[in-house]
Structure 1
Amino acid sequence: MSIPIDQKAPQFFHGTKAQLNPGDLIAPGFNSNYGKQKQAKYVYLNATLDAAIWGAELALGDAPGRIYIVEPTGPYEDDPNLTDKKFPGNPSKSYRTGAPLLVVGEVTDWQGHSPDRLQEMRDNLDRLKQRGIEAIED
């Protein structure tokens, strides 16, 4: 018996610049790739490839962006950094969890945003930073 597509478990992604392998865990407790780089209480996952692409492109560091297919090992919730007044209803399907994410694969054929669009996003993040608004709130 096949399961209708709308009843399948969602596929989740995590964008980063870290080099990982299937079986690795992405866990809270390390310094964040964003903002003030404080110790992260959560790890973030997305059910849309576009949101994971932003994560891979905007993560700090010089390494190339990478997108991993991940499975949460515990409960997860809507990411309040993206689902409050900014984007009601969670259209980016962005989540966070205090439990590790299990890396089960890597997306290698993704297309990044245009250099102009990427710079526009970085400029917007810089404006928020100048106003004292942190991109990641725990």
Structure 2
Amino acid sequence: MEFSPFNNVVKRCLQGMEMEEKGKPEEASKLFLQGWHEATNDFEKFLAAHYVARHQKHVSDKLHWLETTLQFALKINDDAVKSAFPSLYLNIAKCYEDLNNAEKAKENFDLAMSYKYNPSDKGPFYHGTKANLQVGDLLTAGSNSNYKSELKMNHIYFTALVNGAGLAAALAKGDGNERVYIIEPTGNYENDPNLTDKKFPGNPTRSYRSEAPLKIVGEVTEWVKQTPEEIQKFREKLETNKGEIIN
């Protein structure tokens, strides 16, 4: 199940989040419900239900939608969805706590902790860039950020989604050709905290980072490429983003 910002339900959720940022919760709620009604598969229903849940005014209604989110998440054998389990079980536990159901609250708190330190993604992994590299080369931390040039990065970033790596290559600085390399981490890695449990639940882009080098073991030449207009829109969003990068 590949997360894509160009998916129609994802777009609807992004539109809803934009309304939230503008202080228009009713419009946001309508967009999330529209996404729910437009969803055609378990992943889209999982995603839309997550946003519908947070606009419920009563705890019992919020719990219903969170458990609906969980119901669809459990149907999907996908690492991107599994990364949402810690926060999902935690929010369910808090609802039971508010409803004075201590037994169900503890059960879900325990489930949240059991998933928190249990990464499951084993790749394959990719890194997108415009640099001309060879098999056997090492990608290391310490380069300046593509998004904030004054920031030197303490980690090297990668993803398990080839199309995500392709988008990163398109957005990377430089005049070279877009390249997507197959990489192997040489040390421990973690969910990218800049993306995990931020706008979307869990780590749907399957984005990771490591302080250890990444070894190039191959290259792919086929991935879904976006139009120049879509890439430009992404660049404009990055330029206007006021958020801090967790380094």
Range of TM-score over shorter length: 0.7 to 0.9
Which of 219, 226, 236 is the aligned partner of 1:113? 226
Q: Quote the residue 1:3 is aligned against.
A: none
Q: Quote the residue 1:40 is aligned against.
A: 153
1:133 equivalent in alignment to 2:246:
no
CA-to-aligned-CA distance 1:90-131 (integer Å, 9 cap, x gap): 111000000000000111123321122111111111221xxx
The structure whose Rg is larger is: 2
Quote the sequence identity (%): 50
Using structure 1 for the length normalisation, give the TM-score: 0.84
1:101 equivalent in alignment to 2:214:
yes
Distance 2:145 2:170 in 1: 14
Q: Secondary structure at the match of 1:45?
A: strand
Aligned CA distance change for structure 1 residues 127 and 11 (closer, same or farther; 3 Å): same
Matched positions, count: 129
Q: Secondary structure at the match of 2:195?
A: helix
> Hey, which of these two has a bigger chunk of helix by percent?
2
8 Å CA contact 2:147, 2:238 repeated in 1: no
Counterpart residue identity of residue 60, structure 1? K
Using structure 2 for the length normalisation, give the TM-score: 0.49
Q: Which runs of 5+ in 1 are unaligned?
A: 1-5
Greater relative contact order (Cα < 8 A, sep 6+): 1
Question: How far did residue 24 of structure 1 move?
Answer: 0.2
Q: Quote the residue 2:133 is aligned against.
A: 20
Q: Quote the residue 2:167 is aligned against.
A: 54
Question: How far did residue 32 of structure 1 move?
Answer: 2.9
1:83 equivalent in alignment to 2:196:
yes
> Hey, which of these two has a bigger chunk of strand by percent?
1
Q: Which runs of 5+ in 2 are unaligned?
A: 1-78, 80-119
Distance 2:186 2:216 in 1: 10
RMSD (Å), alpha carbons: 2.0
Distance 1:60 1:8 in 2: 28
8 Å CA contact 1:13, 1:67 repeated in 2: yes
After TM superposition, where is structure 1 displaced by more than 3 Å over at least 4 residues in a row? 6-9
8 Å CA contact 1:27, 1:100 repeated in 2: yes
